[in-house]
Chains A and B, each alone.
Chain A
């Protein structure tokens, strides 16, 4: 199995008649420890070796994932042959031709051997609330990539913890994500979650209306990630992005600048290259509120008459790490700005009524703190944010100093986010 060679598979595909081929051989070692009520409920390890293969002939393309390598020769032959009878993809314009120069990057391999159970125990012991639930995850991946134009290998690893602390009816959520074992601090996440749980005790029923809302980094990153599809050229081309037809226009407050960065050292999704072998890069997406780029692979870039941003997804461009620019305000300063509002510390179940317009609702969970005259005066529960994504981005009127890397169950891609203060957010509640 371990003799799988990406370049040999690509050579074979071309010899069989493919014009283009990409093969990634991915060897992965993951650990996961799940815990709840201060006890470990399951400890797991996943190991796999997979080949992800892309073949194209003219305007026809297909991908396949192979786990049973005994069949690889036969499957490759069938796939290349299958291209002849399949339908064309008029939006396919080939893969990146290279040659490419790749930067060296460091991968912390020690993450693969980390004592995940012990690290989870430490987080549980650091909990200052009544009980803690969560998950600790480590991932080490070795990727060998080959195309007819380039060949490279990459090692990627990260460790992350997502914890939720409970104090009576209240809860707090925090994460800690790191690309190095040394930089990881599960206890800190546990303490932060405990602190929020304690601040949120004895919540009263929230009331509908318009509020100034201070989103914590965890909450803003989670909300922002649910709208990320709108920055992928694929969904823009599908006509369902709320950023469609807005390139070069103001789409958010001038305080909002967002970039995708596949190279940033701390980013847990940092990679040497994308799925076409294009070196990753930093791409500004929104600059001072103005939409400046979408995420592209080679095909979407040709269609949009621009350059790839190193974000293939061979089929659908996708982000690596999202960086939201920090502001200059302290958290206390941001709270001090609010006469009557809320600090929302987490949200989930964001759903769009209309992907094209950005109408959505989402349900704040964990501590929701009431702010009156610049001070936290209590907490509320049972509210829903029912608004429009473009309106929320436009109504950002202050951002915090520093960012936190957020990645968890409800935040699919890592987002570095500061605190964000948004004016006039619409809150609704159940009517019966």
Chain B
């Protein structure tokens, strides 16, 4: 990577603030469709962007033609755009004052991705899974990247990072007794091929197919009266991601994403506002070692740290970058992320989780006279203020007199955010994280994140739903 050209760009900046981010990426993308290698793509990217603050306006320009002339043009263009766009703004854009760092970090690969025939490995996985009863379709989308990033800004930050990352989306369709069900499973992590091996897919995928097959064969309709609902880490994870992480993003709260991903039911003055029972504690932490959303410094050079979004049921902290922190009057908590050199950094989640309680999973179930256990989900969505959400169970069971009994077909958890968190009455000890790709931004920036938590019990939920 030619760091000199990035430094040249920064030196030429004449604005109040400037940053240059240069990235080089190499990776592979594959699609295996029913045992056939349908797509094999070698991806690469190499370029830089300049983001500047001038006269209260924010300008951004990117290029992959890394000649001196071009990068200087990019800086000048970003400055011009910033100044022109600021002319009619009543509220100048600013950045919070932050400590800046110089550092270099690398996520190591024990088994180099480049040394592994990844297509072969995926085809083997397909073959081993193919014989499962009821499985009619397998679609695997695999992607990995080795991203080298060089970030500098006019306030002295200089961060170098190298992060290898991989992601597999398994899309499995099971048909039994004329009924079909689909599993969409995502596995993601950082590091080398050893991380992928750790997903243990040759055991997990067949198990998942057996579960779905059984639900289709034996699944009973969900109870109609309100019942207690025990949800597993996968469901807890998607819920905290959608209905806590997203609405706590300060750019949404301030309306910056209004025309795309929407705004938030949370308003700037709601720190301390109760959203759930005392048992609700939700954290965000980019620095979890090995996590899919891992980073140590964000894309504004701010050091990553753990954020407590909800403490004992009350809003404690938003996710902020320097721009939103300037407006809200605080400091950035290192939430600025960009998925490529040609995208502006915006407020994002990293690894979001419901914090541990003191129950065991068995205790949560034993105390339930009538209820359901929802281990996983398929369809989900949430409104654009993040208040009305829905998760449809994939693997779910009845709980009767403290015991897990028959499978339940497609229970629908369709609740408000405060309805959900105020129903939390018991929380288990062991936190599990799952990978997910978070969508936000325009142009779209699908960001690697993880989400999870322990088993959680909700009291008195009326299940909704029409499918099935």
- A residues in contact (CB < 8 Å) with B: 1, 32-34, 36-37, 39-50, 61-68, 75, 79, 85-91, 117, 121, 131, 133-135, 162-164, 166, 173, 208, 234, 237-240, 315-316, 348-357, 359-363, 365, 382, 384, 386-387, 409, 426, 428-432
Contacting pair A430 B415 (CB below 8 A) = yes
Which residues from chain B contact A46 at a C-beta distance below 8 Å?
61-62, 342
Specify the chain A residue showing the minimal Cβ separation from B175.
Answer: A356
Known interface pairs A43-B60, A363-B383; A432-B461 also in contact (CB < 8 Å): yes
Taking CB atoms, residues of chain B closer than 8 Å to A237 are 33
Task: Give chain A residues whose Cβ lies under 8 Å from the Cβ of B384.
Answer: 348-349, 363, 365
CB contacts (< 8 Å) of B259 on chain A: these are 36, 133-135, 162-164, 173, 409
List chain B residues, Cβ under 8 A from A1.
65, 67
A391: min CB distance to chain B, Å: 11
**Pick from A40, A65, A349: contact of B85, CB under 8 Å:** A40
Q: Contacts A87-B120, A361-B379 given: A39-B34 contact, CB under 8 Å?
A: no
Give the residue of A39, A63, A354, A384 whose beta carbon is less than 8 angstroms from that of B390.
A384
- Within 346-399 of B, Cβ neighbours of A (below 8 Å) are at 378-384, 387-390, 392
Choose among B65, B120, B123, B419 the residue that contacts A432 (Cβ–Cβ < 8 A). B419
Bound-state CA distance A156–B274 (Å) is 52
Cβ-defined contact, A50 with B258, below 8 A: no
Q: Which of A87, A88, A173, A387 has the most CB of B within 10 A?
A: A87
* Stretch of B3-11, B89-97, B298-306, B310-318 on the interface side: B89-97
Whole-angstrom distance between the Cβ of A119 and the nearest chain B Cβ = 12
B151 at the interface (CB under 8 A from A): no
| A63-B41, A239-B136 known; A386-B36 Cβ under 8 A | no
Can you name the residue of chain B whose Cβ is closest to the Cβ of A410?
Answer: B260
Report B409 CB to chain A, min CB distance, Å: 11
Contacts A/B (CB < 8 Å), 5 sampled: A43-B59, A240-B171, A351-B380, A353-B379, A356-B173
Known: A43-B57, A386-B467. A429 touches B414 (CB 8 A): yes
**A-contact 0/1 string along B34-65, CB 8 Å cutoff:** 10111111111111000000000111111111
What are the nearest 9 A-B pairs in CB distance?
Answer: A432-B419, A133-B258, A43-B81, A64-B42, A353-B379, A349-B381, A239-B137, A68-B46, A40-B85
Q: A40-B89, A62-B42, A86-B37 are in contact. List 4 more A-B contacts (CB 8 A).
A: A39-B88, A40-B57, A47-B62, A63-B41
A429 to B415, CA, bound (A): 8
A352 and B64 form a contact (CB under 8 A): no
Q: Does B180 contact A (CB under 8 A)?
A: yes
Kindly state the separation between the CA atoms of A430 and B417 in the bound complex, as whole angstroms: 10
- B43 near A432 with CB under 8 A, answer no
* Residues of chain A contacted by B460 (CB below 8 angstroms): 432
| Of the residues B41, B123, B381, contact of A65 by C-beta under 8 Å | B41
Interface centre among A91, A162, A315, A431 (most CB of B within 10 A): A431
Contact in complex: A34, B442 (CB < 8 Å) = yes
B182 touches A166 (CB 8 A): no
B410 within 8 A of A: yes
Query: Which one of B59, B85, B444, B460 has the highest number of Cβ atoms from chain A below 10 Å of its Cβ?
Result: B85
C-alpha spacing A131/B254, complex, angstroms: 12
Asked if B60 contacts A42 (CB within 8 A), the reply is yes
Contact A365–B467 (Cβ < 8 Å):
no
Rounded to whole angstroms, the CA-CA distance of A350 and B379 in the bound complex is 9
Q: Closest CB-CB distance, A356 to chain B, in whole Å?
A: 5
Our pick among A43, A64, A163, A239 for the contact of B58 (Cβ within 8 Å) is A43
A225, B24: Cα distance in complex, Å = 33
* A79 lies within 8 A of B85 (CB): no
* B390 touching A361, Cβ below 8 Å: yes
> In whole angstroms, what is the CA distance A386 to B139 when docked?
26
Interface flag for B145 (CB, 8 Å):
no
Q: Given A65-B44, A87-B123, A238-B137, A360–B60 Cβ distance below 8 Å?
A: no
Taking a contact as CB atoms under 8 Å apart, the answer to whether A353 and B85 are in contact is no
Q: How far is the CA of A391 from the CA of B116 in the complex (A)?
A: 46
Which residue numbers of B lie inside 8 Å of A, CB to CB?
24, 31, 33-34, 36-47, 57-65, 67, 70, 74, 77-78, 81-82, 84-86, 88-91, 93, 117, 119-120, 123, 136-137, 139, 171, 173, 180-182, 254-262, 342, 344, 378-384, 387-390, 392, 410, 412, 414-416, 419-420, 423, 442-444, 460-467
Q: Closest residue of chain B to A134, judged by CB?
A: B259
CB distance from A79 to the nearest CB of B (A): 7
| Interface-centre pick from A164, A350, A362 (highest chain B CB count, 10 A) | A164
Docked-complex contact A355 and B442, CB < 8 angstroms:
no
Q: Which one of B81, B123, B342, B467 contacts A353 once the chains associate, using CB atoms below 8 Å?
A: B467
Chain B residues with Cβ under 8 A from A356's Cβ? 173, 180, 182
Q: Is the CB of B34 within 8 A of A238?
A: yes
Across the interface, do A315 and B38 meet the contact criterion of CB distance under 8 Å? yes
Q: Are B37 and A431 in contact (CB under 8 A)?
A: no
A87 to B82, CA, bound (A): 50
Given A1-B65, A62-B42, check contact A382 B442 (CB 8 Å): no
Tell whether, in the assembled complex, residue B43 and residue A64 are in contact, meaning their CB atoms are under 8 Å apart: yes
> A67 with B388: in contact, given A88-B37, A234-B38, A431-B462 (CB under 8 Å)?
no
Q: Which residue of A lies closest to B46 (CB)?
A: A68
* Contact, CB under 8 Å: A135 / B182: no
Check B443–A386 contact: CB distance below 8 A. Answer: no
A45 contacts which of B81, B257, B381 (Cβ < 8 Å)?
A: B81
The answer on a CB contact under 8 Å between A350 and B44 is no
| B382 partner residues in chain A, CB cutoff 8 A | 349, 363
Interface pair A431/B258, CB less than 8 Å apart: no
A71 to chain B, nearest CB (A): 8
Contact at A65–B419, with CB atoms within 8 Å?
no
> Complex: how many Å from CA A1 to CA B466?
57
- Who on chain B is nearest to A163 by CB? B259
Q: Which chain A residue lies CB-closest to B181? A: A354
User: Is A67 a contact of B44 with CB atoms below 8 Å?
Assistant: yes
State whether B173 touches A239 (Cβ < 8 A). yes
Chain B residues with Cβ below 8 Å from A382 are 383, 387-388
Report A122 CB to chain B, min CB distance, Å.
11
Contact between B44 and A68, CB atoms less than 8 A apart: yes
Check A363 against B461 for contact (C-beta < 8 Å).
Answer: no
Distance in angstroms between the alpha carbons of A49 and B262 in the assembled complex: 32
Cβ–Cβ contact A386 & B38, under 8 A: no
Contact of A36 among B42, B43, B255 (CB under 8 A): B255
Q: Is the CB of B81 within 8 A of A79?
A: no
Whether A66 pairs with B139 at a CB distance below 8 angstroms is no
Q: For A86, what are the chain B residues with a Cβ–Cβ distance below 8 Å? A: 37, 40, 119
CB <8 Å contact, A351 and B381: yes
Q: B137 and A315: CB pair below 8 A? A: no
Are A42 and B59 in contact, with the CB atoms below 8 A?
yes
Which chain A residues border B181 with CB–CB below 8 Å? 354
How far, in whole Å, are A409 and B62 apart by their CA atoms in the complex? Answer: 21
Residues of B close to A34: CB separation below 8 A: 256, 442
Give bound CA distance, A432 to B415, whole Å.
5
A168 to B412 Cα, complex, angstroms: 32
Q: Please determine whether B381 and A361 come into contact, CB atoms closer than 8 angstroms.
A: yes
CB <8 Å contact, A79 and B139: no
A365 adjacent to B383 (CB under 8 Å): yes
- Inside 8 A of B34's CB, which chain A residues have their CB? 238-239
A63, A351, A361, A431: the one contacting B40 at CB < 8 Å is A63
Taking a contact as CB atoms under 8 Å apart, the answer to whether A166 and B139 are in contact is: no
What is the CA–CA distance of A42 and B78 in the complex, to the nearest angstrom? 10
CB-based contact B82/A39 at 8 Å: no
Contact check, A62 vs B58: say whether CB atoms are below 8 A apart: no
Return chain B residues, CB-CB under 8 Å to A65.
Answer: 41-45
Closest to A355 in B: B182
Minimal beta-carbon separation of B61 from chain A (angstroms): 5
